[in-house]
Amino acid sequence: MANINVYLEIGKKKVFASALDWPGWSRGGRDEDQALQTLLDYGPRYAKVLNGSGLKFQAPAELSQLVVLERLPGTSTTDFGAPVIIPDFDNAPFNNQILEISQKLLQSCWQAFDNAVQAAAGRE
């Protein structure tokens, strides 16, 4: 199974671990270890959203598969509970391959949202 490259946004009260190649897969915790564990724990949920998208995502099974490439200082927004720092990776050129992957990812997210709306129909 492939490794997943991540970055950490480190605030004084919270830390976010975010997957560099998989936008939207980001989880927080009180410290680096908890943020990474929570990211790992949410991998199957992320995979479920991408099911049927044609994207080759497999949730990692072990923490050792999450490879931290960047540690960035957070801000008060990080501590509030929202990742805000832009990793160096996001400053790379956005080519057609990345555009196609991003479009598939967005379509999968909208489909998951539509499914949730349908499942909630008639509930208060």
26 Cα distance to chain centroid: 3
The predicted pLDDT at position 109 comes to: 95
SS3 for 27-69, per residue? Answer: EEECCHHHHHHHHHHCHHHHHHHHCCCCCCCCCCCCHHHEEEE
How many domains in the chain? 1
Q: Which domain holds residue 59?
A: 4-120
Q: What is the pLDDT of residues 5-15, one digit of tens each?
A: 999 999 999 99
77 conformational bin, left if phi > 0, alpha if psi -120 to 50, beta if neither: alpha
Q: What is the pTM of this model?
A: 0.91
Q: What backbone phi and psi angles, to 5 degrees, belong to 64? A: -60, -15
Q: What is the pLDDT of residues 37-84, one digit of tens each?
A: 999 999 999 999 999 899 999 999 999 999 999 999 999 999 999 999
CB of 19 closer than 8 Å to CB of 36: no
